[in-house]
Chain A
């Protein structure tokens, strides 16, 4: 059956696909769906996650036009890296130069679970690399550097598609604390510019009040961050030394930044 293909900015593409453990009807139906969907889109290959099924299954057309079914594929050998333009159904109308290997060796299982290997080169090798990246939660974008990634994001935005690569809703809530503190401090830093524009004493005073507020709020948030991190670590039974030291170090880093910012504000912004 033809299934719907997921497209940017659908975040499900980032899910790492699980290895297939049972080689049964369910798998064979999935393979049929993948073939139907690929044929319908005139695609040379497709990974299961492209139809939102997080299973490590890739089908691809060999240079002879035959479908090869790769279950749990792994690339174990590679040769010669080069750049060449690529596109994918996940990112409509995007063509980018992507570094890939020209020759690869792949091991995989067939639909009955028998292990096989395959040597591929040229376009076929590139196709397999692109599809196997999907099974590990990676898209074309992961192969681009930051600058080019942002350029593609902008281009998609211009086409009315708004999103971010690799964004995930599964982010730890700890990150929100950090993000709010960073924003508070960022605006605090902006107030340092005020004296450059010869702001009035009154304006400076209100900025200084903001700075005091930002400092106080940061302290509260850092404490909140510590308490929340401890709670989160305990909940997942991984309250390890590493975890505690890790979030304590983050808290100290923010605390030092906050103290530094507060001192600078005191010297620069506070009306004398």
Chain B
């Protein structure tokens, strides 16, 4: 009997664990270690953040789902990996620390035969002074990265609406809180939802809405832009995004590294090296992501964290981390099996793996500050990785010597539906797909993308899609009938 331990019960981890259990049955053990008692459909946090949905609508408790599926669920966070075991035992194990009400802080050694690291990002608020600290979000800004943050954001937004109703003008600053952020898509969605909410509340004319981003052009999205087809028309995400912003009277600040947040004010450095300030009454700034910060130890107790993890805390996998300068980047630098090169029974999926390099063009200010989006790893690729890794492990448990399945971001398309306002009849959204996520300059000379695989749609239909997705994915995550048929 083999034991598969999955660290992290988010998009990648939940997909991995549920498929593993289904494929392995009761012959083998599947354990999930994750610190939260609830599962959160993160994309819908955007709607929670404007008060369009309640927190309860985007989360559900994990325990009953895992109980039904026969998965051993530990409400705990993993803190260290011992891939060689310890003195007197060769069995690898991880250290976990319970977060569960009944035994908080209690630690335990959990042995494994196979380990999947799907711990996603650490929301690194501490990277920008004033944005937050080691404990998380600071007092000056809001966030929509977790359901709790989003609920808080909605309450703050409501306060601003009240003020505007009393005749006070307000400035809204939404975007990225550091030069090395990813997830611009979430900020993009949020700003449109805020604009929509203010309009609905009848206070739009009292608000100035500004987007601040580390992208060098609107619509880069960490992917160097998307060129898509909208109703038969070719559109670049820049032209498209600019017209959307301009139409709604929203301003934007590009190429910005926010380096300090104070009450009502951010300071930022621009790509041209200048320093500027922007005041705000309400600010939602996405923090940069880092790995969750595990330690790893060899059998003799020596620290081998650097063998397993890149300096940013993400796990090393079968990627080419020595690709060098931008002009040498190739799709083949990107990992395929997501297996750790040193310890063949450890895999990483979702945001937790260390990408070989950026996707967008690297840029920095004349002062040497890097200001560029880091590679996005959105829900769909994360789930595809979770599934591929699981299928490899299942085959390896059954005797395969090597991973048998791959999920490579250079061979995957991404579909993204960005909602720009919730409402059954007045909602709108932009749907775009891009293929492949990592540009392949050899196969598709020029932009590195296959235009036939990229489409976009704007309007109510796309909004419905986003709404349907919310229900479909929660249905799938709850393992309701037919869940395996729903694609990632």
Contact = CB atoms under 8 A, between A and B. Distances in A.
Nearest to B226: A16
A153 to B, nearest CB: 13
Interface stretch (A34-42, A82-90, A194-202, A244-252): A244-252
Contact of A115 (B225, B366, B452): B366
A142 B411 CA distance: 32
B415 A240 contact: yes
Contacts of B488: 240-241
B457 to A, nearest CB: 7
Interface string B415-454: 1110000000000000101011000010001111011110
B217 interface: yes
Contacts of B285: none
Contacts of B255: 74, 76, 107
B380 A19 contact: no
B131 to A, nearest CB: 22
Contact of A18 (B273, B441, B472): B441
Nearest to A137: B236
Interface in A1-41: 11, 14-19, 21-22
A170 interface: yes
Instruction: Tell me whether chain A's interface is mostly helix, strand or loop, or mixed.
Output: mixed
B447 A246 contact: no
B236 A238 contact: no
B134 interface: no
Contacts of A137: 227, 234-236, 239
B413 A236 contact: yes
B469 interface: yes
Query: Which one of A136, A165, A171, A237 has the highest number of Cβ atoms from chain B below 10 Å of its Cβ?
Result: A136
Contacts of B433: 238, 242-243
A136 B217 contact: yes
B465 A74 contact: no
B380 A241 contact: yes
Contacts of B476: 241
Contacts of B273: 117
B461 interface: yes
B327 A238 contact: no
B435 A238 contact: yes
B264 to A, nearest CB: 22
B106 interface: no
Contacts of A249: 461, 464-465, 468
B446 to A, nearest CB: 4
Given A18-B446, A238-B415, A245 B465 contact: yes
A86 B355 CA distance: 44
Interface in A219-272: 236-246, 249-250, 253
B1 interface: no
Interface in A147-186: 165-168, 170-172, 174-175
B137 interface: no
B396 to A, nearest CB: 23
A91 interface: no
A242 B327 contact: no
A19 B487 contact: no
A99 B249 CA distance: 14
Contact of B216 (A11, A74, A166, A245): A74
Contacts of B487: 239-241, 243-244
B232 interface: yes
Contacts of A21: 326-327, 441
A136 B239 contact: yes
18 contacts: A15-B447, A16-B227, A55-B446, A74-B254, A76-B216, A133-B239, A136-B239, A137-B227, A168-B229, A168-B233, A174-B455, A175-B229, A236-B435, A239-B487, A240-B380, A242-B431, A243-B487, A246-B417
Interface of A: 11, 14-19, 21-22, 54-55, 72, 74-77, 99, 105, 107, 115, 117, 133, 136-138, 142, 165-168, 170-172, 174-175, 236-246, 249-250, 253
